[in-house]
Chains A and B, each alone.
Chain A
């Protein structure tokens, strides 16, 4: 009986020692990507150009394409 208790105590000691040596999981929580707001939604910062409606993608695309043509001197100077 005494020997049994001794073995049991030793086992418990070894088990607790091993538990103490174990490592908790160290996987960092994945940072979720935040959804970006589309540019056609507008900026509301007081610097918006006129001639298009924020929230209307077709309107923004048309306005931007028109503005892009401002870089074309063949269309600016006729």
Chain B
């Protein structure tokens, strides 16, 4: 059984925001809501600036599901965490529970009124009929039912963001990290490179390139 997951490789992400744009366009996400965004840390520090594309991680033990007072979430057999907008009351609990800030709300009108929750669906729609107009209007495209994968990952220009069955994308990432190690990058890092992708105490800190060695840098 497939377990759909995303991996974002911080060594490759160039903060182009192509994934953000692709997601908004493919799913016609309204202005003010970003299902996916790129987060950059150590901004401006040469050699240490890292970017990562973040959206719903479709957690195996999703905290949003645990806190939802109306139980609108469900997990598909493919491991995708989805929700029913007809049940959602827009309370925002999921937003507070999610460590990735995935649940989004469209603020409209006075007094901070919120819409129902909107989030990444791994391009697999919602409980409406697959590929129907109702599904598209509420949840966006159902690319999985079309035999495709999330557009953000499929169009990533540097293939920093990869999405698909967890075992398959872990294999791709494993091969990538092994090649890096073979070429002398971060020798001794963990086999799967998780610490390289997500940081950790075992990850050797990258050596910053002195500004004097970079043409044009001050």
Contact = CB atoms under 8 A, between A and B. Distances in A.
A48 B214 CA distance: 48
Contact of B84 (A33, A43, A71): A33
A36 B2 contact: no
Given A38-B77, A71-B153, A33 B146 contact: no
Contacts of B84: 33-34
A68 B163 CA distance: 7
**Interface range on chain B: under 10, 10 to 19, 20 to 34, or 35 or more?**
35 or more
Contacts of B74: 33, 36
Central interface residue in A31, A34, A42, A45, by most chain B CB within 10 Å = A45
B185 interface: no
B131 interface: yes
Interface in B143-167: 144-149, 153-154, 156, 159, 162-165
B128 to A, nearest CB: 8
Nearest to B158: A73
A36 B130 CA distance: 9
Given A67-B149, A71-B153, A36 B131 contact: no
Interface stretch (A1-9, A10-18, A19-27, A57-65): A57-65
B66 interface: no
Contacts of B124: 39
Interface of A: 31, 33-45, 47-49, 51-52, 60-61, 63-65, 67-74
Interface of B: 2, 70-72, 74, 76-78, 82, 84, 86-87, 124, 126-127, 129-132, 142, 144-149, 153-154, 156, 159, 162-165, 168-169, 172, 175-176, 179
Given A43-B130, A51-B147, 9 more contacts: A34-B127, A40-B145, A45-B146, A48-B147, A60-B147, A64-B164, A68-B149, A68-B168, A71-B162
29 contacts: A31-B87, A33-B72, A33-B127, A36-B127, A37-B129, A38-B76, A38-B78, A39-B142, A39-B144, A40-B145, A42-B130, A43-B131, A43-B145, A45-B130, A45-B131, A45-B132, A45-B142, A45-B146, A47-B146, A49-B146, A60-B147, A65-B2, A68-B168, A69-B172, A70-B154, A71-B172, A72-B159, A72-B175, A74-B175
